[in-house]
Amino acid sequence: MDGSVSRSITIDRRPSPARPGSANHLVNRWTEAEAIGAERVRAFVLILKTRGCYWADVQGCSMCGYSRDTLGRSASSAELAQQIEEAKGAYRGEPYVKVYTSGSFLDDREVDPESRRALLAAFSGRARRFLFETLPEFVRPEAIEPLKAAFEGELEVALGLESTDPTILRKFVHKGENPEAYLDAGDRVRAIGLRSKAYLLLKPPYLTEKEAVRDVVRSIGSARSHFDAMSVNPVHIQGGTVVEWLYQRRRYRPPWLWSLVDAMRQGAEVRDGRRLVTFPTAGGRPRGPHNCGTCDAAVLGALEEASLSQEFGSLDRLDCACRTRYEREAELEPLGVEA
Task: Provide the binding-site residues for ligand SF4, judged by CB under 6 A.
Answer: 53, 55-56, 60-61, 64, 66, 102-103, 135, 160
Instruction: Find the shortest distance in angstroms from Cβ 225 to ligand SF4.
Output: 23
The residue from 80, 161, 302, 322 that contacts Zn ion (CB under 5 A) is 322
C-alpha radius of gyration, the chain, whole number: 20
Shortest distance (Å) from residue 141 CB to Zn ion: 49
Minimum CB separation of residue 88 from ligand SF4 in Å reads 26
Q: Does 320 bind Zn ion (CB under 5 A)?
A: yes
Of the two residues 137 and 296, which places its CB atom closer to Zn ion in the complex? Answer: 296
Nearest approach, Cβ of residue 323 and Zn ion (Å): 7
CB 125, CB 92: distance < 8 Å:
no
CB of 298 to ligand SF4, least distance (A): 30
Q: Which residue, 132 or 256, has its beta carbon nearer to Zn ion?
A: 256
User: CB-wise, 135 or 181, nearer to ligand SF4?
Assistant: 135
If one counts every other C-beta atom within 10 angstroms of the C-beta of residue 70, the result is: 21
Distance CA 257, CA 234 (A): 9
User: Residue 60 or 267: which CB sits closer to ligand SF4?
Assistant: 60
Nearer to ligand SF4, 44 or 66 (CB): 66
339/323 Cα distance (integer angstroms): 13
The smaller minimum CB distance to ligand SF4, of residues 148 and 170, is found at 170
AA identity, residue 49: K
**Partner that binds at residue 80, options Zn ion, ligand SF4, none, CB closer than 5 to 8 Å by kind:** none
**Cα–Cα distance list, 115 to 24, 54, 110, 119, 258 (Å):** 13, 19, 10, 6, 42
Binding positions for Zn ion, 281-300, rule CB under 5 A:
291-292, 294-295
Residue 303 beta carbon to Zn ion: minimum distance, rounded to whole angstroms: 14
User: Is the CB of 161 or the CB of 322 nearer to Zn ion?
Assistant: 322
292: partner contacted, choices ligand SF4, Zn ion, none (Cβ within 5-8 A by kind): Zn ion
Judged on CB neighbours under 10 Å (0-12, 13-18, 19+), 30 is exposed
Partner that binds at residue 295, options ligand SF4, Zn ion, none, CB closer than 5 to 8 Å by kind: Zn ion
The string of DSSP letters for 106-163 reads T-TTTS-HHHHHHHHHHHTTT-SEEEEE--GGG--HHHHHHHHHH-SSEEEEEEEEE-
Binding partner of 288, given ligand SF4, Zn ion, none, CB within 5-8 angstroms per partner class:
none
Contact in structure between 207 and 168 (CB atoms under 8 Å): yes
H-type alpha helices, the chain: 3-10, 54-58, 77-90, 113-123, 141-150, 166-167, 179-191, 209-223, 242-248, 257-270, 296-309, 322-332
User: Which strands make up the sheet holding 129-133, listed edge to edge?
Assistant: 28-36, 39-47, 96-100, 129-133, 154-162, 195-202, 229-234, 275-277
The option from Zn ion, ligand SF4, none interacting with 61 (CB < 5 to 8 A, set by class) reads ligand SF4
Least CB distance to ligand SF4 at residue 95 (A): 26
Rounded distance between C-alpha atoms, residue 138 and residue 95, angstroms? 26
Contact at 8 Å (CB) between 179 and 140?
Answer: no
> Quick one: 34 or 137, whose CB is closer to ligand SF4?
137
232 contact choice in ligand SF4, Zn ion, none (CB below 5 to 8 Å, kind-dependent): none
- Residue 299 contact among Zn ion, ligand SF4, none, beta carbon within 5 to 8 Å by kind: none
Q: Which residues bind Zn ion (CB under 5 A)?
A: 291-292, 294-295, 320, 322
